[in-house]
Amino acid sequence: MTPATKGDNIVDNVEQVVLDNPVAGRTYRIEVTNKGILVNNATTPAPAPQNYSIIVTGFNEVLGTKDVANSTNGIVIAPTLTKDVVNILKAPKKSALQFMTYLVKLQNGVINSAQETINLSSYTNGIYIIEVKTDKDIISKKVIKE
């Protein structure tokens, strides 16, 4: 309940970055990193992805994003804002597929073609995660069903 202070946040998972005197026309880069190793809930700790959101205010241009820490090897999960279907493109055949909420796995499967479709029409509106496991990477993408 106290005012925010500058420094490392060791209390919660919310961070704020303020540019006191931004310069018009200058390009700024927002880089999301962590100071350790993110782990999943498996019995053996292993590096894991971390979902996050970014809100930018006072900015009226196109905000571009690029995941530089986690290569997707060309795999595309789109659209990420949908009413009914999400497509997984360019995933290697036999890659494992999971569709879940933050707490519950809803569907498992194996990718068998160059385009795999997940139908979300029977699910309630909300935030879901699609995870594709290849023999080299784990790609996770947040999908919003509206």
Strand-pairing partners, residue 99, are: 107, 130
- Domains of the chain, by residue range, sit at 76-145
pLDDT number for residue 129: 86
pLDDT number for residue 139: 82
- Tokens 């360019």 — which residue? 90
pLDDT number for residue 67: 47
pLDDT number for residue 71: 47
Cβ partners under 8 Å of residue 146, min gap 6? 81, 82, 83, 125
pLDDT number for residue 64: 57
Contact present, 32 and 54 (Cβ < 8 Å): yes
138 burial via Cβ count (<10 Å: 0-12, 13-18, 19+) = middle
Rounded CA-CA distance 99/46 in Å is 21
pLDDT along the chain (146 residues), means of 10: 73 76 75 66 60 72 51 75 86 88 83 90 88 83 86
Q: If you average pLDDT over every residue of the chain, what do you get? A: 77
Q: Which fold has domain 76-145?
A: Immunoglobulin-like (2.60.40)
